[in-house]
Amino acid sequence: MQINGTAYRTIWPGEDGASVEIIDQTLLPHVFEAAVLRTLDDAARAIVTMQVRGAPLIGATAAYGLWLALLADPSDEALDRAAEVLLATRPTAVNLRWAINDMLARLRPAAPDTRVAMAKARAGEICDEDVETCRSIGSHGLALIEKIAAGKQGGPVNILTHCNAGWLATVDWGTALAPIYMAFNKGIDVHVWVDETRPRNQGAALTAYELGAHGVPHRIIVDNAGGHLMQRGQVDMCIVGTDRTTASGDVANKIGTYLKALAAHDNDVPFYVALPGTTIDWTLHDGRDIPIEERGAEEVTRMAGRDGRGGVVHVDIAAPGSPAGNPAFDVTPARLVTGLITERGVCAASAEGLSGLYPEQGR
Ligand SMILES: CSC[C@@H](O)[C@@H](O)C(=O)COP(=O)(O)O
């Protein structure tokens, strides 16, 4: 996607041949700046501190993290240790495990002296594949938006999204936002309701930033506004991303997604989830088995922002001394999901729907 006329991906190999660059998402929307990762620890830290975030991008960063580890030490032991370190960074997004397993399956049989080049090449391929996958998700989701647009008596197609599942959460295009970008590019009148997505505000900070940079009409709303807007007929469809989808179509996504799905169900608003095949955990059938990340209480009790001079400020918003809980994801049961938008097409959120699109997984 373009920022100020320049096309960017969210991650790319450095020109020195020994580093990886990322867009530092902890500085957005105020500062657009790249950060340089030179070591395994840099890559792991970037995932833990959420300089990079979003399920597909976490996977891509882990793949490059393995390459950085091998640059320092291409031995079997170093490879296994690096995989362990990266796997421990965040628990919910299964793309992390997918990318690490994909890399290990190719790198373990290789001789240490060929591993480094192989690792860099495969990490690059994972990124390229992610871009094409998201582009396909966009085309399949576009057809759904077009259908809704055709059935409307004028006015924009109002789409509600939660958290950030745009190009910043992937290598490019995004998952939930890819269909929206394609609809906008095609001249369809779209308007996006952007859930602010407390406590880290990925909606207000990142989704709004992306949509604004691309010129897509949008409005930021507080997380609790969605149900009200749906009751008033002001939401035509919801599209969200996911960090892990079970083989039966239960969907883990940013905390608050489940409540939006309940409100959508109650108001007959279609609720779609966009995902690449790498986000499906074929080993799980019950969404209650998905590990849910518990994050620090300070994300709930304090708000971070910028003052007029661009400095970071933290403001305490909670009663001093009150404890806080911070589950980062929730699970929306398949029965509340209208359809899954994948790179292979749209299917029902069910075991039958998913195995129909990915028959090789059943073998
Ligand atoms: C295409 S990304 C899908 C999800 O990863 C996204 O919706 C989300 O919940 C991101 O959570 P985050 O905690 O910001 O990594």
From 58, 130, 164, give the residue whose CB has the most ligand 1 atoms within 8 Å, as the site to mutate.
164
- Host domain of residue 21: 2-129
| Of the listed ranges 127-136, 235-244, 253-262, 299-308, the one predicted with least confidence | 299-308
The answer for 221, left when phi > 0, alpha when psi is -120 to 50, beta otherwise, is: beta
Region 175-204: mean pLDDT is 98
Task: Please indicate, yes or no, whether residues 331 and 244 belong to a single structural domain of this protein.
Answer: yes
Q: Are strands 271-274 and 312-316 parallel, antiparallel or unpaired?
A: unpaired
CATH number, domain at 62? 1.20.120.420
* Total domains, the chain: 2
Instruction: Provide the 3-class DSSP secondary structure of residue 223.
Output: helix
Residues with CB under 6 A from ligand 1: 53-56, 93, 163, 165, 169-170, 174-175, 202, 241-243, 253-254, 328
pLDDT, tens only, 313-358: 999 999 999 999 999 999 999 999 999 999 999 999 999 999 999 9
CB count within 10 Å of CB 322 equals 9
> Ligand 1: distance of its center to the CA of 161 in Å?
12
Report d(CA 316, CA 155) in Å as an integer.
41
pLDDT, tens only, 294-305: 999 999 999 988
- 54 touches 34 (CB < 8 A): no
Pure H helices in the chain: 40-48, 55-72, 76-87, 95-107, 112-150, 178-185, 202, 208-214, 226-231, 257-266, 298-301, 351-357
Residue nearest to atom 11 of ligand 1 (CA): 54
pLDDT, tens only, 18-65: 999 999 999 999 999 999 999 999 999 999 999 999 999 999 999 999
Listed residues 73, 104, 129: the one ending a domain: 129
**Has residue 134 been placed in a domain?**
no
Task: Please indicate, yes or no, whether residues 251 and 273 belong to a single structural domain of this protein.
Answer: yes
**Has residue 16 been placed in a domain?**
yes
This prediction's pTM:
0.97
Listed residues 77, 100, 129: the one ending a domain: 129
CATH number, domain at 312? 3.40.50.10470
Task: Please indicate, yes or no, whether residues 150 and 42 belong to a single structural domain of this protein.
Answer: no
User: Residue 196 gets which letter from DSSP?
Assistant: -
Task: Please indicate, yes or no, whether residues 188 and 151 belong to a single structural domain of this protein.
Answer: yes
Task: Please indicate, yes or no, whether residues 200 and 316 belong to a single structural domain of this protein.
Answer: yes
Does this complex have an ipTM over 0.85? yes
Annotate 37-70 with b (16+ C-beta within 10 A) or e (fewer).
beebebbbebbeebbbbbbbbbbbbbbbbbbbbb
Is the per-residue pLDDT at 306 higher than 90? no
**Has residue 136 been placed in a domain?**
no
